[in-house]
Structure 1
Amino acid sequence: MALMGPVAGHAQQLGLPEAPILTISSDRLFSESAFGQRVIREIEAEGAALAAENERIVAELSREEKELTQKRAEMDPDAFRELADAFDRKVQSHRDGQRAKLEALGARGEEARGTFLQLARPILVALLHDSGAGVILERSSVFLSSDATDITDIAIARIDAAIGDGRDLEKPKGK
């Protein structure tokens, strides 16, 4: 127990809880950090641009479909079928392309979250060491705990101080 006193006193001096088990909300850690907020803003902006592009494509395809329908009465059925089949392929191609873009956007979010956790790990290890605790548990997985053991706010502050919004720390994307 003599060892616990100095460690606990050290934790208290650093504003950390004096507990053998700490909790953290990884969702809040990401979403409230400068890094996470930047990524969320970027993904929301890209998502809005994708939605606008999709609306433009839908309007264009609707116009083409209307023109194709108007031509139907004056066309040979086989010639019309060829145009209709080509139009269907074009629609499917656009759907596939937009779906792929949406999936890539989701993957980018997951990749950014993984990068964030990788960058945050040494900071969380230092928090664990500084507090003298033996473990940090995910808050949502804990049935009952005191709010005093939650270090999410402290972790966010330390991560923000160490990596900021992380813009300069992520791997450059091949564009």
Structure 2
Amino acid sequence: MALACFGAAPAFAQDTAQPAPGPGRGYQLGLPQSGILTIQPERLFSESAFGKRVEREMEAEGAVLTAENRRIEAELRREELELTERRSEMEPQAFRALADAFDQKVQDTRRRQEQKLREINQMGEEARREFISASLPVLQQILRETGAGAILDHASVFLSADAADITSLAIARIDAVLGDGAAQEDGDR
């Protein structure tokens, strides 16, 4: 009798380990079999075609701004040297007025260039929001297909099986739907 009970236990455990497949349970090949999935949001964006395009655009804008900053810096340095050379030929009040005007010009220029940098960063943040918004239907589809109840940020999960991470799957599917996103942005303009 005891032997029969012990013999039946492994069979019972095997039967209950795999719930019966049903609609929305996600028992398709290549999909995780987990009630909770994880995703790496930074990797999702940066490794997607959309994210790579945005990164290239931001780098290009940043390079233009850097070149502009260097040009402006050289011009201001020349102007400062000319002002310094003229100092001995000028009345102190006249020199002070020119020096104050130059300082104001430097501060105004710095503010303009910092605003341009903020705009480039804002462009990246807006692109991320657009990406997440456009990606939600794909992520919801994966959620439905797997039968999972939630997708959590991988970084906030203490412990999980690697199989629960859907980042690579999501990147492939999002790329198939969105591509690099340039067509959507051109349509918005």
TM-score (norm 2): 0.86
In structure 2, which of residues 108, 117, 136 is the aligned counterpart of residue 121 of structure 1?
136
Secondary structure of the corresponding residue to residue 37 of structure 2: strand
Q: CA RMSD in A?
A: 1.9
Where does 1:103-122 land on structure 2 (aligned, <5 Å)?
103-122=118-137
Runs ≥4 residues deviating over 6 A: none
Runs of at least 5 residues in structure 2 that lack an aligned partner in the other structure: 1-15
> Please, which runs of 5 or more residues in structure 1 have no aligned partner?
none
Match of 1:11 in 2: 26
Aligned-pair identity (%): 58
With over 3 angstroms needed to count, the CA separation of the structure-2 counterparts of 1:89 and 1:158, relative to structure 1, is: same
Whole-Å separation in 2 of the counterparts to 1:83 and 1:74? 13
The answer to whether structure 1 residue 84 and structure 2 residue 94 are counterparts is no
Structure 1 position 11, deviation (Å) = 2.6
Answer yes or no: is 1:63 the counterpart of 2:78. Answer: yes
Counterpart contact for 1:25–1:140, Cα < 8 Å = yes
Aligned to 2:11: none
Aligned residues: 172
The answer to whether the 8 Å contact 2:21/2:27 transfers is: no
Matches within 5 A, 1:1-175: 4-7=19-22, 11-170=26-185, 172=188
Deviation track 1:113-160 (CA, whole Å, cap 9, x = no partner) reads 000000000000000001111111100000111111000000000000
Shift of 1:7: 4.1
Amino acid aligned to 2:57: E
Contact kept in structure 2, 1:8 and 1:18, CA below 8 Å: no
Q: Following the alignment from structure 1 to structure 2, what is the Cα–Cα distance between the partners of residues 172 and 69?
A: 51
Matched residue of 2:159: which SS? coil
Could you list the per-position Cα deviations for residues 4-58 of structure 1 after superposition, in whole angstroms to 9, with x for gaps in the alignment? 4224996342410111010000100000000000001100111111111101100
